[in-house]
Structure 1
Amino acid sequence: MIRNRGIEVLKVIDIKEALALKNVLFIDVRSQSEYDDGTIPGSVNIPILDDAERVIIGTIYRKKSPDEATLEGLNFASNKLPNLYKKIKEYSKKYDNIVIFCWRGGMRSTSVCTLLSMLKISNIYRLTGGYKNYRKYVIDFLKNKIDRYKFVMLHGLTGVGKTHILEKLQCIGKPVLNLEKIAKNSGSVFGNIVFSGKPPTQKMFESLIFNVLYKAEEDYIFVESESKRIGSVQIPEAVYNRMINGYHILLKTTLENRIKIILEDYVVHLEENDFKIMKSINHLRKRLGNEAVDKLIKKIDTKDYTYVVKYLMEYYYDPLYKYSIKKYNNYDIVIDYDDINDVLPIINSFLNNIRITRRELE
């Protein structure tokens, strides 16, 4: 804490410095709807004003005066201050650094930080520019600062185990950008029964991608082949271009292996979501025909999921994926496996080879 003639001056920090802090907690004091629209990943929401109060204050600001809006804001905030202090006091014991932010680093974050400093909580910073500056930082990074990353993209038909391999790579410390997990959408007929909670907004999706890339210690990132749109969100243009222009690995295995992988992934979700599955399959009537869809629904009724998965693979997913797979004429490596555990050593060997080649070129 800096002192000026005995008066404590709030500690402020910019986003680049804040992201470099160790054992840090970001606290978003904006309203719930602002937080839900997009925030700094991992931040905690402790609103100083709720959504209804923000509307009231905005109306007073426009129709009366800024001073009256400020007074009304203080009135609304006063009831929340004891609980806010209690929560942040507890967090201050667990974290070396706490960064408070609002939309533009203005009155809400300033008033909270002023109160906390008066109450002798010293490890507090106010984020200059607030979430608005963070958002600008993310957009600039994803557009202009990702040239150093080389993406290694995994391709293959449904059920070949791309997501499993990403998870195995992550477990051994390799940098992985799991876009389906971040988007909470697997893109399959069964995709909406796996992920819990609401999918992220576009802003939050971009922040989560930024979070992975910014923290990556290597100059390569493993990623699964995706279309530009995943559910309701889109991969940022520059990121998608880096993916397309990276290395490409094609994975192959038997149909039996693929069916087994899908059943293992979804079997714990299937019976409790029969209605959702039937609803999704009903949307395929135009592509598969009424007779085929009616039979699939009957098979779901009798819990014959093996038939359903096999049929969808052969007559729906494989034709779709084969088209996208053919878009890449020259794969850097093709891995045709029987045991999925054999894939990682081959990928590691490939990675070592491209590292050596890149060093030679340098």
Structure 2
Amino acid sequence: MTSRPDTDDYRTLFLNDTPLMDVRAPVEFAKGSFPLAQNAPLMNDDERHRVGIRYKEKGQDQAIVLGHQLVSGDIKTARVEAWKRFAIQNPDGYLFCFRGGLRSRLTQQWLRDAGIDYPLITGGYKALRRFLIDQLEALISRENFMLVSGRTGTGKTRLLNNLPNPVDLEGIANHRGSSFGRQITPQPTQIDFENRLSIALLKASHQPHNTLYLEDESHLVGRCCLPDSLRARMMEAPMMVLERPIEERTAIIKEDYVIGMVSDFIARDGEQAGWLNFRDYLLSALERLRKRLGGDRYALLKSTMESALELQRSSGELGGHDKWIQALLKDYYDPMYDYQLSQKEGRVVVKGDLETLLNWARKIA
């Protein structure tokens, strides 16, 4: 493997989707890292905790001694082997620890002793995170944004991902942004969300198109919170409004939240458990709307949903879902959206179906 220098070119790392080896402890990695980072720790959580106590009590030199005692023999061999595998599989990658200090340099030295020269990121995680925070604020302040809006079920994400320069907030947050919006995999931590958002904006800013398209979201996408500065820009941004008849919206909702989700749950959990978890997902999502719907309306929708689920389970027939979907759209989501849109009418620059909006966006690109 040809020797490469250490780097502080954080921009290029993120623009090029460079593989990164995070040698921090698992607890640090879990709090936040980067999309293409893999955790290959020098010390596990317990070892790091014990070394930290030694550092506070007896100083750095004694902490280093304890660290070498804890990570030695077969443990050291196994960790070096993991690093070697990463380095061989990712010859263009880099390694990092928290500040680019002792842990990075020790990892680098042990790899060198094993015959592999592998570069590190100077400044480590702290510098990478600082770069992304600064870039996020700079990009938010200077980029031109256009919001994609529309009633629930119009397929805004489908439109967004066909526009010239999209940034998919729901995709980054791994959540569809409504009571029914959770996915079968967890959302990122807030730090991971911010890091991914910054990288997405950074990549979008390097495209030839002047306008970045975002879906019209509230300040929360699931539990991920948009930066206040981005929300402020979004509240002033021009908007395109996607329109579809309710029959098409019903079909889209059924495809995403019924067909897609039951398939995902069964693929993950098996036929029986997957079905039960899917059923619980739908009923729990409706339960979260109970107070807003009111007791009587909630009870009626719950009964309709349970009947639709029973019909689906017994015969595979999906038509029973149309009734609760359309009732929820007409009586809950549409009035709420229409009121919100009435407060933003002055910002709407174009309305229409999918092709109308795509053609309009291509003309201004």
Q: What is the TM-score normalised by the length of structure 2?
A: 0.84
Give yes or no for contact 2:240–2:350 (8 Å, CA) kept in 1: yes
Give yes or no for contact 1:26–1:42 (8 Å, CA) kept in 2: yes
Amino acid at match of 2:282: I
> 1:118 maps to which residue?
113
Structure 1 residue 264 corresponds to structure 2 residue 255 = yes
> 1:132 maps to which residue?
126
Residues 266-281 of structure 1 mapped to structure 2, 5 A cutoff:
266-268=257-259, 269-270=261-262, 272=276, 273-281=278-286
CA deviation after TM superposition for structure 1 residue 38, in Å: 0.8
Structure 1 residue 325 corresponds to structure 2 residue 306 = no
Instruction: Give the 4+ runs in structure 1 shifted more than 6 A.
Output: none
Distance 1:51 1:296 in 2: 47
Q: RMSD of aligned C-alpha atoms?
A: 2.5
Distance 1:22 1:183 in 2: 21
> 1:54 maps to which residue?
48
Residues 10-25 of structure 1 mapped to structure 2, 5 A cutoff:
11-16=5-10, 19=13, 24-25=18-19
Q: Which structure features the higher share of strand residues?
A: 1
> 1:307 maps to which residue?
323
Distance 1:83 1:323 in 2: 60
Structure 1 residue 66 corresponds to structure 2 residue 54 = no
> 2:358 maps to which residue?
344
Give yes or no for contact 1:154–1:249 (8 Å, CA) kept in 2: yes
Q: What is the TM-score normalised by the length of structure 1?
A: 0.85
Distance 1:313 1:228 in 2: 22
Residues 288-307 of structure 1 mapped to structure 2, 5 A cutoff:
288-303=293-308, 304-307=320-323
Deviations 1:90-121 (A, max 9, x none): 33334342211111112111100111123332
Amino acid at match of 1:107: L
Moved more, 245-254 or 47-56: 245-254
CA deviation after TM superposition for structure 1 residue 18, in Å: 5.4
Deviations 1:3-49 (A, max 9, x none): xxxxx9x9432143652785732100011121111112211110111
Q: What number of residue pairs does the alignment pair up?
A: 336
Gaps of 5+ in 1: 3-7, 353-362
Q: Percent identity?
A: 30
Moved more, 304-313 or 71-80: 71-80
Give yes or no for contact 1:23–1:96 (8 Å, CA) kept in 2: no
Moved more, 16-25 or 148-157: 16-25
> 1:183 maps to which residue?
173
Amino acid at match of 1:242: R
CA deviation after TM superposition for structure 1 residue 145, in Å: 4.0
CA deviation after TM superposition for structure 1 residue 82, in Å: 2.4
CA deviation after TM superposition for structure 1 residue 260, in Å: 1.4
Distance 1:118 1:21 in 2: 31
Amino acid at match of 2:362: N
Give yes or no for contact 1:26–1:99 (8 Å, CA) kept in 2: yes
Distance 1:143 1:242 in 2: 11
Distance 1:41 1:152 in 2: 25
Gaps of 5+ in 2: 263-274, 309-319
Structure 1 residue 206 corresponds to structure 2 residue 211 = no
